[in-house]
């Protein structure tokens, strides 16, 4: 390589290194929902809804975001991206049937989920039939620990072998900059 070629290569490498530091890595938690409940059109569960908020505690009731009538089985995923205004978030996730959307089949609340700066983390969540409500009768807290809400749940490093492709459609946002979206996870 001649001198001008080496100089051009060095400038290109320096420019690449400089621009690499200009974009922060994504700070995201991917919740992977798994269940032994039959899912899909005409089944007991055909929709997932969720209420989320920045910070701790149980999310307040508001119009939930939902992943509509095209759940054909589990696992499904939802991504929560920090907008930089919060280090923790909370979410209530419900498996529902569109034939009776006011009565969730299963509901769990996760409080104080921590974002890890510049990392993509996962939170596997089981929502199994043992936790299902029968009409308005749901398991009492403490009856089945796997059905209870979880405070400060641990997250694990992202593993594409566990995470299903896709996610929830983008467009559902939460207070204080946390964002829920689908699409490719990087």
4 located within any domain: no
pLDDT tens across 162-175, in order? 777 655 444 454 43
Q: How many domains does the chain have?
A: 1
Q: Look up the domain containing 63 and give its range.
A: 24-181
- Tokens representing 154? 């641990």
pLDDT tens across 80-101, in order? 888 777 888 899 888 988 777 6
More confident residue, 15 or 151: 151
- Amino acid 177: pLDDT: 33
154 located within any domain: yes
Cα–Cα dist 61/82, whole Å: 21
pLDDT tens across 111-169, in order? 999 999 989 999 999 999 999 988 778 888 888 889 999 999 999 999 888 777 655 44
Residue 71 banded pLDDT, cuts 50, 70, 90: confident
9 located within any domain: no
> Using omega within 30 degrees of 0 as the cis cutoff, is the peptide bond preceding 75 cis?
yes
Give the SS3 label for residue 18.
helix
- Amino acid 168: pLDDT: 46
Q: What is the DSSP letter of 177?
A: G
Q: What is the DSSP letter of 101?
A: T
DSSP symbols for 125-160 = EE--GGG--BTTB-PPTTTSGGGS-EES---EE--T
- Tokens representing 52? 């989320």
Residue bearing tokens 């400060």: 152
5 located within any domain: no
User: Stretch 38-44: mean pLDDT, rounded?
Assistant: 78
Contact 168, 68 (CB under 8 A): no
- Amino acid 132: pLDDT: 92
Give the SS3 label for residue 12.
helix
Residue 61 confidence (pLDDT) above 70: no
**Cα angle for residues 64, 155, 173 (degrees, 5° grid):** 25
19 located within any domain: no
- Amino acid 157: pLDDT: 93
- Amino acid 56: pLDDT: 78
Residue 21 confidence (pLDDT) above 60: no
Residues in the chain: 186
Which residues, at least 6 apart from 135, have a Cβ–Cβ distance to it below 8 Å? 103
- Amino acid 11: pLDDT: 31
114 located within any domain: yes
1 located within any domain: no
Residue bearing tokens 């939930």: 64
7 located within any domain: no
């Amino acid at each position: 390589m001649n001198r001008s070629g080496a100089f051009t290569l060095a400038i290109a490498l320096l420019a690449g290194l400089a621009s690499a530091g200009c974009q922060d890595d994504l700070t995201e938690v991917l919740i992977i929902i798994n269940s032994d409940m039959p899912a899909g059109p005409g089944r007991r569960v055909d929709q997932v809804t969720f209420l989320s908020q920045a910070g701790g505690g149980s999310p307040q009731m508001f119009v939930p975001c939902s992943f509509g009538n095209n759940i054909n089985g589990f696992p499904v995923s939802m991504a929560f991206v920090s907008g930089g205004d919060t280090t923790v978030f909370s979410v209530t996730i419900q498996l529902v049937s569109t034939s009776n959307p006011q009565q969730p089949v299963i509901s769990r609340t996760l409080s104080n989920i921590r974002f890890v700066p510049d990392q993509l983390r996962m939170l596997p969540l089981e929502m199994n039939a043992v936790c299902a409500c029968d009409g308005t009768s749901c398991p009492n807290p403490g009856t089945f620990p796997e059905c209870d809400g979880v405070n400060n749940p641990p997250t694990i490093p992202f593993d594409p072998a566990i995470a299903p492709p896709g996610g929830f459609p983008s467009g559902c946002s939460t207070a204080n900059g946390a964002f829920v979206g689908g699409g490719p996870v990087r």
